[in-house]
Structure 1
Amino acid sequence: MTHNPYIYITLALLATLLFLYTLVKQKDSKLIFLYFIMAGHTFMFEYVIFTLLDSYVYYPQILQNPFYDSIIGAIVSNGFVIPMVSVSIAAFYVSWKNRFLTAFYIMAIEVLFLSLGIYEHNWYRTVYTGFGVLGAFLIADFWHSTLRGTPGRTARFFSLFIAAYTFKASAQFFASGVFNKFIYTAGWFDNPYRDSIAYATPSAIFCSLILAYTFTYYRKWPALLLSLIFLCLTDYLQYYFGFIQLLEWPLWVYLLLNPATMAFIWLLDKFFFEHHQYKKFALF
Structure 2
Amino acid sequence: MPNYFFFILLIIVSSLLFVYTIYKTKEKYIIAHFLVMSGLAFVLEYFVLIIGNGYKYYPNFIENAFYDSLLGSLVSQAVAIPIAATVIAAFRLNFLHMLAITAGFIAIETYFIHIEIYEQFWWETYFTAVLLPIYFLFGKFWLLLLQNVKHTIVHYTTLYFMTLTLNSVILFFLVLLLKTHELQVGWYDNPYRDHIAANSIYIIILSAIFSILILKKVRWYVYFIVLIGYNIIDHLMVWNGMLELANWWNVFYFSLLNLTDLLMVYFLNEYLKFKYFLFD
TM range (shorter): over 0.9
> Mean Cα displacement is larger for which, 231-240 or 62-71?
231-240
- Tell me the CA shift for residue 37 of structure 1: 0.8
Work out the CA distance in 2 between the residues paired with 1:108 and 1:276: 38
- Tell me the CA shift for residue 219 of structure 1: 4.4
Classify 1:223/1:146 alpha carbon distance in 2 versus 1 (closer, same or farther; 3 Å): farther
1:41-95, CA deviations, whole angstroms, 9 ceiling, x for partnerless residues? 0011001011111101100000110000000000001111111110111111001
Which residue is 1:270 aligned to?
270
| Structure 1 outlier segments of 4+, above 6 Å | none
Which residue is 1:226 aligned to?
225
Q: TM-score normalized by structure 2?
A: 0.93
1:217-238, CA deviations, whole angstroms, 9 ceiling, x for partnerless residues? 2344343343333333333333
Work out the CA distance in 2 between the residues paired with 1:232 and 1:142: 39
2:231, 2:254 within 8 Å by CA — same for their partners in 1?
no
- Tell me the CA shift for residue 270 of structure 1: 0.5
1:158-199, CA deviations, whole angstroms, 9 ceiling, x for partnerless residues? 211111111111112111134322111111001101000110
Which residue is 1:203 aligned to?
202
- Tell me the CA shift for residue 5 of structure 1: 1.0
| Letter paired with 1:53 | G
Which residue is 2:250 aligned to?
250
1:63, 1:178 within 8 Å by CA — same for their partners in 2?
no
- Tell me the CA shift for residue 261 of structure 1: 2.0
Work out the CA distance in 1 between the residues paired with 2:8 and 2:87: 20
1:232, 1:258 within 8 Å by CA — same for their partners in 2?
no
The equivalences for 1:90-105 within 5 A come to 90-105=89-104
The equivalences for 1:142-221 within 5 A come to 142-221=141-220
| Letter paired with 1:50 | L
Which residue is 1:281 aligned to?
none
| Letter paired with 2:258 | N
Q: TM-score normalized by structure 1?
A: 0.92
Work out the CA distance in 2 between the residues paired with 1:67 and 1:214: 34
Work out the CA distance in 1 between the residues paired with 2:264 and 2:130: 32
Which residue is 2:139 aligned to?
140
2:159, 2:268 within 8 Å by CA — same for their partners in 1?
yes
| Letter paired with 1:70 | S
Work out the CA distance in 2 between the residues paired with 1:154 and 1:220: 22
Work out the CA distance in 1 between the residues paired with 2:104 and 2:206: 36
SS of the residue corresponding to residue 188 of structure 1 reads coil
Classify 1:125/1:267 alpha carbon distance in 2 versus 1 (closer, same or farther; 3 Å): same
Q: How many residues align?
A: 277
SS of the residue corresponding to residue 100 of structure 2 reads helix
| Letter paired with 2:115 | L
Work out the CA distance in 2 between the residues paired with 1:101 and 1:277: 35
> Mean Cα displacement is larger for which, 238-247 or 163-172?
238-247
- Tell me the CA shift for residue 150 of structure 1: 3.5
1:47, 1:198 within 8 Å by CA — same for their partners in 2?
yes
SS of the residue corresponding to residue 33 of structure 2 reads helix
> Mean Cα displacement is larger for which, 252-261 or 17-26?
252-261
1:200-232, CA deviations, whole angstroms, 9 ceiling, x for partnerless residues? 111001101110111112344343343333333
Please list every run of 5 or more consecutive structure 2 residues that lacks an aligned counterpart in the other structure.
Answer: none
Which residue is 2:117 aligned to?
118
| Letter paired with 1:252 | F
Classify 1:135/1:239 alpha carbon distance in 2 versus 1 (closer, same or farther; 3 Å): farther
SS of the residue corresponding to residue 186 of structure 1 reads coil
Classify 1:149/1:230 alpha carbon distance in 2 versus 1 (closer, same or farther; 3 Å): farther
CA RMSD of aligned residues (A): 1.7
Work out the CA distance in 1 between the residues paired with 2:61 and 2:171: 18
